Amino acid sequence: MAKSKTVFVCSECGYESGKWLGKCPACNSWNSFYEQKVVETKNNGFSQSNGKVVNPQSLNSYEAKETIRTHTGFNELDRVLGGGLVKGSLVLLGGEPGIGKSTLILQICDKIKDDGKVLYVSGEESAEQIKLRADRLGINNEDILFLGETNIELVNQAILNVNPKLVIIDSIQTMFSEEITAAAGSVSQVREITSQVMRVCKSKGITTIIIGHVTKEGNIAGPRVLEHMVDTVLYLEGERYFSYRILRGVKNRFGSTNEIGMFEMQDKGMCEITNPSDILISERDDNPAGSCVIATMEGTRPLLVELQALTSQTVFGYPRRAANGIDYNRLTLLIAVLEKKAGMMLNSQDVYLNVVSGLKVNEPAADLGIMMVTASSFKNVPIPKDMIILGEVGLTGEVRRINLIEKRLKEAEKLGFKSCLIPESNKKDLKDNYKLDIIGIRNVNEAMKKIGLK
C-alpha cells in the first residue's frame, strides 16, 4: 500500500528538504520553500512498465505539421504571440491588479466568437460583475459561457463537457484542488492546478489563457516552475496613472520573445496603438532645454521616445540622482563619464531623468541621448527639436556602434525629423539614401560640439 509523506521543495530550483528552511542551500533564495505531498511505493529498482517496450525513433522520421493559429482580433497581440493563439497552447498572462488583464481577455473572447465556444472561468468576480464589464465594452455574445467556480476538478469536468475552443481561467491563484491540503494561491496549489489544466486542454487541443497575479517584485506569483510549464508567458505592463499599456512576451515556444504590443486604456476597453512613436512624442510643442528624442528598439519595432532631464543646485552635501524609466546605476555611470571626459562638474547638481509616458528603456543605444539631455539641462541650451540622438557610450567617452540603425533612421525620417546624431562606425556602413542630415561622431566631446553644448 502506498505511503504518503511531506517534503519541502524550493520554488526557485526544486531542491527538496525534509524540513522547512528559511534559505535554500542550493540557490540561496530566501522564503522559497513550500510544502508538497509525495507518495512512496514499495518498488525496488526500476519502475514497472507492465511489459510495455518503448523504441526511440529517428527525428527525421517525424513530419512537422503546420501550426494552427487563431487570430485574436488585435494585431498588436498577434504580433507578440507570433501570429495568433496556437491551438492547444497554454498562455500565462501576468500583470499588476487593475492594469487591464480581465478587460483585454474579455475583448479577446468577443473577437474570436465566430470560431467556437469560449469558457470564461472566474474565481474572483461574479457573473454580474463580468456582465457589467461586458456591457461597458459593448460585448453581446452568446458563445461566451461563464463559470464561477474555484474547484479545479469541477472546472476540468466542465471543460470536457463543453469542449470549447478557448478557456480563460481568471485567476490561477483563486483555484484550488481537493487533492492538495494547502490553501488556494499557495505554490503547491498553483503548481498542481496548472498541471491538471495542461493535461486536460492539451489532450483535447483547447487553447487556454491563465491569468496570474504578480508579486511586488513584478514576477508572477507562485513557483518559478509555473512559467516553465506553460508555452507562452506575457506581461501587461504600464503605470497605473498612465493610459498606455505594453504587452511584453518573456517566453514563447511558437514565436519571438522580442516583440511588444502597445495599447491604450479607454472607456471602451483596450485600444491598440498602431503608431506608438507618433503618440509618444505628440506633445513636444516647444523646445526647452533638457529634452531630446531617441530611437529605442522593442523587438523589431523602433520607438521614438522623449527623454527629459533636470539639473538643479543640490541643497545637501550629497547630490541626488533620480531615474524614472531607465536603470539608476546606468545614469550614475553616464554622469561620471560626463564629469571625467567632458569636464562637466555635476558633483554639486541634483540630476533627475525621466522617460516620458511611463515607458522603460533598457538598451545601451540610449546612452548618448541620456548624456546630451543632461548636459542640455545643465548648460540651459536646448537640443534642436528636429534631431534624434543615438549611440552607446563607453567608459572612456567613445561612442560605440548600435544595432538596427536603418530601422531607427527610417522611423525618424517618417515622423519628420531633419537630423540625426549617430556613431561614426554606423554612418560608414549606411547604404540607403536618407533625407536626414546624418552626423557621425566618435566621442562625447565631439557630440557636444555638434549640438552646441561646448
Q: In the predicted model, is pLDDT for residue 169 greater than 90?
A: yes
249 in Cβ contact with 259 (< 8 Å): yes
424 in Cβ contact with 442 (< 8 Å): yes
The CATH number given to 69-274 is 3.40.50.300
Q: Give mean pLDDT, residues 305-310.
A: 94
Q: In the predicted model, is pLDDT for residue 53 greater than 90?
A: no
* Residue 299 or residue 252, greater confidence: 252
**For the segment 80-100, what is each residue's pLDDT rounded down to a tens digit?**
998 899 999 999 998 888 888
Tell me the average pLDDT of the chain. 86
The pLDDT of residue 38:
61
Question: Closest Cα partner for 143 from 169, 170, 110?
Answer: 110
Give CA torsion, residues 45, 48, 53, 56, to 10 deg: -60
Q: Please give the Cα distance from 413 to 435 (Å, whole number).
A: 7
Q: How confident is the model at residue 3 (pLDDT cuts 50, 70, 90)?
A: low
The pLDDT of residue 42:
47
Q: In the predicted model, is pLDDT for residue 33 greater than 80?
A: yes
Is residue 44 left, alpha or beta, with left meaning phi > 0 and alpha meaning psi from -120 to 50?
beta
* Residue 25 or residue 241, greater confidence: 25
Counting other chains too, the contacts that 122-130 makes at CB distance below 8 Å and 24 or more residues apart are: 122/146, 122/147, 122/148, 122/170, 123/148, 123/149, 123/150, 123/169, 123/170, 123/171, 123/174, 123/175, 124/170, 124/171, 124/174, 125/170, 130/106
The pLDDT of residue 223:
60
State what percent of residues in the chain have pLDDT above 90. 46
Q: Please give the Cα distance from 393 to 135 (Å, whole number).
A: 52
Q: In the predicted model, is pLDDT for residue 45 greater than 60?
A: no
State what percent of residues in the chain have pLDDT above 70. 91
Question: DSSP state, 412?
Answer: H
* Residue 351 or residue 115, greater confidence: 351
The pLDDT of residue 50:
62
Give the architecture (CATH level 2) of 279-451: 2-Layer Sandwich (3.30)
Q: In the predicted model, is pLDDT for residue 210 greater than 90?
A: yes
Q: How confident is the model at residue 215 (pLDDT cuts 50, 70, 90)?
A: low
**For the segment 397-442, what is each residue's pLDDT rounded down to a tens digit?**
999 999 999 999 999 998 889 999 999 999 998 887 888 999 999 9
- DSSP class per residue in 297-366: EETTEEEEEEEEEEEEE-SSSS--EEEESS-HHHHHHHHHHHHHHS----TTEEEEEEEGGG----SGGG
Q: Please give the Cα distance from 90 to 346 (Å, whole number).
A: 51
